[in-house]
Structure 1
Amino acid sequence: MAPRKASDSASAEPPRRSGRLAANPAPPPAEEKPKAAKATKKRSAEAVDGNKEGESSAAKKVKADDKAEKTEGAEAEEASAPALARIEIGDSLPSLTLKNEKGEDIQISELAAEKGVILFLVPKADTPGCTNQACGFRDIYPDFTSSNYNVYCLSADSPAAQTKWQTKKELPYPLISDPKRTLITALGAGEGGKTKRSHFIFDKGGKLVQKKLPVTPADSPKLALEYVKSHVIA
């Protein structure tokens, strides 16, 4: 029998691992570090949104504060207007300077120096109800003048707004601007920053003889004319 070759013996047996290497365990796999990039981006986005919300809230607060200041300023301006005593039946037109629709100064106490005076008050120029009332006085204006009475429209509108309205509706009488509602309030027609629709009739010399407060737009001219016809001034 022929002897086996050394090469055959080596290929038959697997190579032995060193005892020292086998005793040492394999190193654990490296731990993966958490990725923080996405979280950072998310936090950044939240921070931006938070800043935007904060800026929006701050802007709203500033606007609200500005609006409150303007309202308080308007109220303070109205409150600072020179107060007049309440004008009742038998009282005279007060000494007060206001402007007409042309921006000219007029002295209220002198309006009835030569003729009787009808003051009709409107809440706001060029609005439906006020236009109805104003055109009612316009349409029978000759009846007032022939009875020796002058007609004036009184409102808190600016002279510019009154002129525009006067031209648009061809109003033949003057308009008086009382932006602080000084005379309007003295007549008892100013309350809460608004003007009550009404009219007041003063005899020659300036004494108050009739007042209608409140009154409808259609009735105001008619009732005023009824009084004037029964109290014609010579």
Structure 2
Amino acid sequence: MSHKLSVGDVAPDFSLQNSADETITLSDFRGKKTIVYFYPKASTPGCTKQACDFRDNLSSLTAEGYSVIGISPDAQQAIQKFEDKESLNFPLLSDADHTVAKAYGAWGEKKNYGKTYVGLIRSTIVLDEEGKVTLAQYNVRATGHVAKLRRDLGIDS
């Protein structure tokens, strides 16, 4: 499967489309601390909780110098609908062929209800201004994730 990133690794650059069919690259965020999170499917209960949690905490994350990017295998149309319905205020990108998820170690074997399959692993990778990994979290829980992330980053609530 894919190799998980570790602290100190340089994050692989990427170019993905957002819902407005614009190309967004990781290098667009150089010079900023960036939180890249991978979520399995737009508009599902867990992914909605997680995205709304990032939305609701974005101003405090931005105040600490962080940008947020969400990536999923969803089509651009599904992402647009999700952004509109939940009033999301950060970019969501489509990784339909899983290339970026694989490069970040967020695509691999999963277990759910006793069944093993390959899919997107809910993951969060935090990068410094130069694009180096400062925190890599895999198999994160959707509920309460941003609060835990804030604690791990030393950001007071």
Instruction: Return the TM-score normalized by structure 2.
Output: 0.85
Question: Do residues 159 (structure 1) and 76 (structure 2) align?
Answer: yes
CA drift at 1:184: 0.7
Matched residues, number: 147
**Rg (Cα) greater in structure:** 1
- In structure 2, the residue matched to 1:117 is 34
- In structure 1, the residue matched to 2:19 is 101
Where does structure 2 lack aligned partners over 5 or more consecutive residues?
109-116
Where does structure 1 lack aligned partners over 5 or more consecutive residues?
1-83
- What CA distance in whole angstroms lies between the structure 1 residues aligned with 2:40 and 2:9? 24
**Aligned residue identity for 2:152:** Y
Residue-by-residue CA offset, 1:37-76 (whole Å, 9 max, x unaligned) = xxxxxxxxxxxxxxxxxxxxxxxxxxxxxxxxxxxxxxxx
CA drift at 1:85: 6.8
User: Is the 1:111–1:206 contact (alpha carbons within 8 Å) kept by the matching residues of 2?
Assistant: no
CA drift at 1:197: 1.2
**Aligned residue identity for 1:180:** D
- In structure 1, the residue matched to 2:122 is 197
- In structure 1, the residue matched to 2:86 is 169
- In structure 2, the residue matched to 1:134 is 51
**Aligned residue identity for 2:11:** L
Higher strand proportion (structure 1 or 2): 2
- In structure 2, the residue matched to 1:69 is none
Residue-by-residue CA offset, 1:126-171 (whole Å, 9 max, x unaligned) = 0001101111111111110000000111101111110110010011
Q: 1:216 to 1:128 in 2, by over 3 A?
A: same
CA drift at 1:89: 2.0
Residue-by-residue CA offset, 1:98-133 (whole Å, 9 max, x unaligned) = 11222111222x143121000111110000011011
Aligned-residue Cα RMSD (Å) equals 1.9
Higher helix proportion (structure 1 or 2): 1
- In structure 2, the residue matched to 1:183 is 100
Question: Do residues 226 (structure 1) and 154 (structure 2) align?
Answer: no
- In structure 1, the residue matched to 2:112 is none
Name the % identity.
32
Q: Identify which range, 165-174 or 96-105, moves more after superposition.
A: 96-105
- What CA distance in whole angstroms lies between the structure 2 residues aligned with 1:134 and 1:198? 13
Q: RCO higher in 1 or 2 (8 Å CA, sep ≥ 6)?
A: 2
Instruction: Return the TM-score normalized by structure 1.
Output: 0.58
**Aligned residue identity for 2:14:** L
- What CA distance in whole angstroms lies between the structure 2 residues aligned with 1:85 and 1:189? 8
- What CA distance in whole angstroms lies between the structure 1 residues aligned with 2:49 and 2:135? 21
